Amino acid sequence: MKNKEIIKKAFKQSIPIMCSYLFVSIAYGIMMNEAGFAWYVALLVSFLIYTGAFQFLLITLLSVGASLLTIGVTALLMNSRQLFYSLSFIDIFNKMKQKWYMIFTMTDETYAVNCNLEKQNKEEVMFYVAFFSRSYWLIGTVLGAVLGNLIPFDLTGIDFCMTALFIIIFMDQLEKNKDHFPAIVGVITAIICLVVFGTQNFMLPSLIISSMVLLVKQGGTGYE
Amino acid sequence: MNKYILGAIVLSAMITFLLRALPFLLFKEKELPEWLKKIEKKLPMTIMAVLIVYCLKDLRTQMTTLFFPCFLACLTVVFTYKWKKNTFLSIILSTVVYMIFIRL
């Protein structure tokens, strides 16, 4: 594939991320603005940290003047799930010249899209998906912080496009793999953890417990 | 921007980046360990399942208002995608369904 086609393909793959990221990052910019932070502080956070939920929580933490220890531990706990995303891409990223950029730009959403790419020119497409997604996030942050509440539409609910994309990717995975055990483990563990640990804290225990179940299973009856 | 805010941002950025990079730092030169190789292929499916629950997590606290919009929108994705196999069609239709029903 020519470079132009690769970029086009990556852009197409990134459209659901665009809908979600612009919406969420504009909301983030608005909230930073309302909390009294200058637009460049919002941009700096989005530029350096680049993770959804934690950035929102950081607004509150900074506003109440939480200690650096509290902020550090919160970042550690909320973002530990990133570990699991990187695990699946060690081999591919190690081959890429943009390795560190790819590691730095891995998010829930780019992880999902990357999981579902065809083999052809996979690395290049992954790079541009990461690049586009990060651009949406930065543009939205500045838009929200500068224009704030001037945006006249009520777009509440548009972030469902990400849920829809995740479900589609999941359906493809179910079709491609005969073994549905990992999917079932994931759903059941996540629901139980959601009930037990609550909406803020369930991701990390879900990922740890379900990976452990997979490990135990492959040690026992075994995967080929 | 004072030192406290800058410090907090830089600290959070470093921790987040380290978490993203940790698997690469741990398994740098050598081959992946055997146990990891075995679940590496299975993990994406599990993670997607967890991510879908993550997207729908607000149902836990707002069951009464969100149940129908979520339920109908998810049904729309599943059925239109089974039927037409068109990613964009399914995303657009289900998002529109969701946006309409959360306003009713």
Instruction: Dump pLDDT digits (tens) for A160-187.
Output: 988 998 999 899 999 988 999 999 999 9
Residues A56 and A139 in one domain: yes
**Residue finishing a domain among A104, A129, A159:** A159
Please tell me which residue, B85 or A148, carries the higher pLDDT value: B85
Q: Where are the domains of chain B?
A: 1-30, 32-103
Residues A9 and A102 in one domain: yes
Residues A46 and A79 in one domain: yes
> Out of B9, B51, B95, whose CB is closest to A161?
B95
Provide the CB-side half-sphere exposure for A100 (13 A, CA). Answer: 3
Residues A148 and A194 in one domain: no
Q: What is the pLDDT of residue A68?
A: 93
Nearest CA distance, A170 vs chain B (angstrom): 6
**Residue finishing a domain among A102, A124, A159:** A159
What are the pLDDT digits (tens) for B11-57? 999 999 999 999 898 887 667 777 777 787 888 899 999 999 999 99
Residues A209 and A109 in one domain: no
d(CA A215, CA A91): 20
Q: What's the domain range around A223? A: 178-224
d(CA A222, CA A214): 9
Phi and psi at A173, nearest 5°, equal -60, -40
The residue with tokens 């149940």 is B67
Closest CA to A103 of A136, A73, A75, A126: A126
Q: With beta carbons less than 8 A apart as the criterion, state whether A83 and B22 touch.
A: yes
Q: What total of structural domains would you count in chain A? A: 2
Check CB contact under 8 Å for A94 and B81: no
Task: Report pTM.
Answer: 0.84
A169 in a structural domain: no
Mutate to test the interface with B, among A160, A185, A204, A217 (most CBs of B within 10 A): A160
Residues A219 and A152 in one domain: no
